[in-house]
Copies of this chain bind each other. A is one copy, B any other.
Amino acid sequence: MANVRLQDVADLAGVSMKTVSNVVHAYPHVSAGVRARVEAAIAELGYQPNLSARRLVTGRTGMLSLAFSDVSIPYFAELARVVSNEATRRGYRLLLEQTDGELDREREIVSTREAGLVDGVIFQPSTMSANEISLHRKDVPLVLLGEQAAPVSVDHVMIDNFAAADQATTHLIALGRTRIGFVGHEREHLSETSLRRLEGFQHALAEAGITVDMGLLLSTAEISAASAAAAVADALDRGIVVDALVCRDDLAAIGALRAIQERGLRVPNDVAIVGWDNIAMTAFTHPTLSTVAADTAALAATALDLLEERIAGFAGLGRHLVASHSLVVRESSLAP
C-alpha cells in the first residue's frame, strides 16, 4: 500500500518527522546512525512522499506544460521530444496540451486552465494574436515559441523566418529558377508565421528582379500533406507552370512532391522544392527534401532558461530571443 506516511516512518525509526524529512531531502547534518535507521525504516515500509502534500506546502509542482495544436504533426512531435528531454534533465515532468488551433482552447492555455497545475507553460500559438495573449494571460510563467509577433510583456523564442525564407528562395534563384511558387500558407487566417515567410520569399524575388506572381501563391485549407497535395494538383491542372516551390512546412512539401510526381513531372529537374522544419521524414522521401532547419535543441534550451528565470521570480519585460536556423540542401533542390 502507498498509505505510508512520514509519521509512520518516524515512528518505526524512533525519530521525529523532521528527521525523516531531513533524510529524504539529503540534508547533510544528520548523524550516520540515525540516517541508517531512517533509511531502513523507509525501505521496510516502502515509503514514498505524497507529492500533492509537498506541493500544497511548497507551491511548486515540478511540472511544466507544453502546448501546441497537434502532436501528430511531425514537427510538434519532434519538438515535444526535445523539450521533454530538456525538461526531464532539469527535473521537470511534462504535461502535453493540444489546442487543435482553436481560439478558445488557446485562451485556456494562457489563462486559467493551468493555474496551480504546473510551474510554467511553453506555448506555441497557432491562432491567438499577440494582443489577445497579453489580454488573456494570467500569472503562470509563460514562454512563447514560434514565429508570430509576441506581446512585449511575454518571453518569446523564435527563428528568423524572414531571413530563412529569403535564404531558401535565394537558393532556388541561384539554381536558375524563375517561376517560383509558395505553398502551404493558410487560406483564411494567415498566420504571422506564414506572413513572415511570405515576406522573406517576396524579398528574395525582388532582390533578383522578379515580381511575385500572385497566381503562384498556393494557400491550403489546413496544415497537412493532403491539403497541400490538393492545392498543387489543382494549380497544375489549371495549367499553372512553376519550376520551383518554397513550402511553408515539410508536410506541405511532401504533399507538393506527391502531386508533382503524380503528374509525371520530375523533382528537382522540372520543379525544385524546399520545405521547412527538417522533420525526420525529409531524409527518406524520394527524392530527399531540402528544408529549413531550426536549431530545436537551442530553441528548447533557451525557452527553458527563460521559463526557469520566470519561475524563479524574474518579472521584467519580455525577452525576445532568436534561435539559429540553417538551410539543409538535399536532392529536391540539387543543381540538375
Tell me the nearest residue of chain B to A63, going by C-beta.
B95
- Chain B residue nearest in CB terms to A228: B284
Give the contact-size bracket for chain A: 35 or more
**A41-83 CB contact bits vs B (8 Å, 1 = yes)?**
0000000111111011000010100000011101011101100
B72 touches A77 (CB 8 A): yes
A112 / chain B contacts, CB cutoff of 8 Å: 48
Q: Report the separation of the CA atoms of residues A76 and B80 in the bound assembly, to the nearest whole angstrom.
A: 12
Q: Chain B: which residue is nearest A73 at the CB level?
A: B77
A74 close to B74 (CB less than 8 A): yes
Instruction: Tell me whether B72 and A78 are in contact (CB under 8 A).
Output: yes
Residues of B within 8 A of A15 (CB): none
Provide the bound-state CA to CA distance between A134 and B98, in Å. Answer: 33
Question: Cβ of A22 < 8 Å from any Cβ of B?
Answer: no
Hey, which chain B residues are within 8 Å of A284, CB to CB? 225-226, 229, 254-255, 257-258
**B-chain residues with CB within 8 Å of residue A258 when the two chains form the complex:** 284-286
Cα distance A50–B1 in the bound complex, in angstroms: 26
| A9 CB to nearest B CB, Å | 15
B95 & A96 in contact (Cβ 8 Å cutoff) = yes
In the complex, whether A281 has a CB less than 8 A from a CB of chain B is yes
A77 x B71 contact (CB < 8 A): yes
Smallest beta-carbon distance A43→chain B, Å: 12
Is A117 an interface residue when CB atoms closer than 8 A count as contact?
Answer: yes
The reply on A139 being an interface residue by CB < 8 A is: yes
Q: Is the CB of B50 within 8 A of A53?
A: no
- Residues from chain B with Cβ under 8 Å of A280 in the complex: 72, 225
Q: How far is the CA of A331 from the CA of B78 in the complex (A)?
A: 28
Interface string of A213-233 (1 = CB under 8 A from B): 000000000000110010000
Known: A77-B77, A98-B84. A52 touches B48 (CB 8 A): no
Q: In the complex, what distance in Å separates the CA atom of A139 from the CA atom of B229?
A: 49
Give Cα A215–Cα B52 distance, bound, in whole angstroms.
Answer: 55
Determine whether the beta carbon of B93 is less than 8 Å from that of A94.
no
| B81 close to A98 (CB less than 8 A) | yes
Measured CB to CB, the closest approach of chain B to A128, in angstroms, equals: 19
> Bound state CA distance, A18 and B265, in angstroms?
72
Asked if A116 contacts B50 (CB within 8 A), the reply is yes
Q: How far is the CA of A93 from the CA of B63 in the complex (A)?
A: 12
Q: Is A2 an interface residue (CB 8 A)?
A: yes
Residue of B whose beta carbon sits closest to that of A224:
B280
Cβ-neighbour of A51 out of B51, B85, B117, B261 (below 8 A): B117
The reply to whether B93 and A95 form a contact with Cβ atoms under 8 Å apart is yes
Cα–Cα, bound, A225→B286 (Å): 13
A210 within 8 A of B: no
How distant is the Cα of A182 from the Cα of B50 in the complex, in angstroms? 48
- A2 is contacted by which of B74, B116, B229, B254 (Cβ under 8 Å)? B116
Provide the bound-state CA to CA distance between A76 and B229, in Å. Answer: 25
Given known A78-B72, A81-B70, A95-B93, contact A48–B286 (CB-CB < 8 A): no
